[in-house]
Amino acid sequence: MTGPSFQGQRIDIGGRSLRVVLAGPADSALLIVCEHGAFGCAADWSVVQTRLAAKGLRSLAYDRAGLGYSDPGPEPRDGRAINDDLEALLKALGETAPILLVGHSMGGLMVRLFALERDLALAGLVLVDAVTPDVLGLPGGAPVIHAFGRLLQVVSHGARLGLMAPVSLVSGNMIGLPGEAGAEKRRIHASATHAHGAAAEVMSWPPTSRLAGAAELPTDLPVAVVTAGPPRAKGQVKALQEAPAKRARSGYVEHVTAANHANLLGPKYADAILRGIDHVLAAQR
């Protein structure tokens, strides 16, 4: 049984490589795939992966193309391109086991789309304070997303001048990752190439949302939803986040009222994510 090695390994998926972090027993019959959010990286999942390994569960986190230590991929960087990469990565690793998909924030769109479009054995979904396709329809939703993408483009220019290095000391580890993982998160947060790759993904957020919202998830697919903050604070958003679990025959919802969007992945609150994973595994059994 092993915890994550934060350097991970670079895996060739056809002329370019993605950085992958694997943890847990190699002989596990199931693989838990962790998809990070916008401006995120594999290190975001270090606490979750460590705790999964302690439970004898195998997991994979990775830097999407152009983010962290992964090579850039062809544009546009929409959810379909991202899931093409993930499918190629699983094939390159020789993975044939069923997978359980866990998506944080914008990663929730990616795993939802993967479940809709890919013909792989899927144990279920865990959506961690995840973005839903419906967010674009909320008042001001589309302009806010567009502004976020433009901001990341500005950040990438500033990072080329070294301006993100001091910023990363303050905002680079909002998750609260300990030790080596926290240091890596700050390094990546200050990277110009990382910001450029994140901006490309966010600018493709609307088409990704349309793809992910084109159909409902199968009702027989177990879905766990874990959100940050009290339900009353973001009533309409919370209702949209809960919907996939409420439509599922085997659904689970937990609101971690004291957590925020970032530190839900950190040491204090990560067990809520494991409870969502446990629900999906129990439903499969």
Query: Is the confidence at residue 219, as pLDDT, over 90?
Result: yes
Q: Which of 54-63, 116-125, 230-239 has the lowest mean pLDDT?
A: 230-239
pLDDT band for position 3 (cuts 50, 70, 90):
low
Residue whose C-alpha is closest to residue 254's, from 268, 267, 269: 269
CATH topology of domain 9-284: Rossmann fold (3.40.50)
Q: How far apart are CA 78 and CA 76, in angstroms?
A: 6
* pLDDT reported for residue 6: 59
Taking only the tens place, the pLDDT of each residue in 14-70 is 999 999 999 999 888 899 999 999 999 999 999 999 999 999 999 999 999 999 999
Residues 255 and 231: beta-carbon distance below 8 Å = yes
* pLDDT reported for residue 135: 77
DSSP state of 66: T
Taking only the tens place, the pLDDT of each residue in 138-154 is 666 666 666 766 666 66
Interaxial angle between packed helices 192-203 and 205-212, expressed in degrees from 0 to 180 and rounded to the nearest 10: 50
Residues 103 and 130: beta-carbon distance below 8 Å = yes
For residue 63, which phi and psi values (nearest 5 degrees)? -90, 125
Return the C-alpha torsion angle 88, 94, 99, 105, nearest 10.
Answer: -40
Query: Is the confidence at residue 229, as pLDDT, over 90?
Result: yes
* pLDDT reported for residue 189: 87
Residues 218 and 71: beta-carbon distance below 8 Å = no
Q: What is the mean pLDDT of the chain?
A: 90
Q: How far apart are CA 172 and CA 184, in angstroms?
A: 9
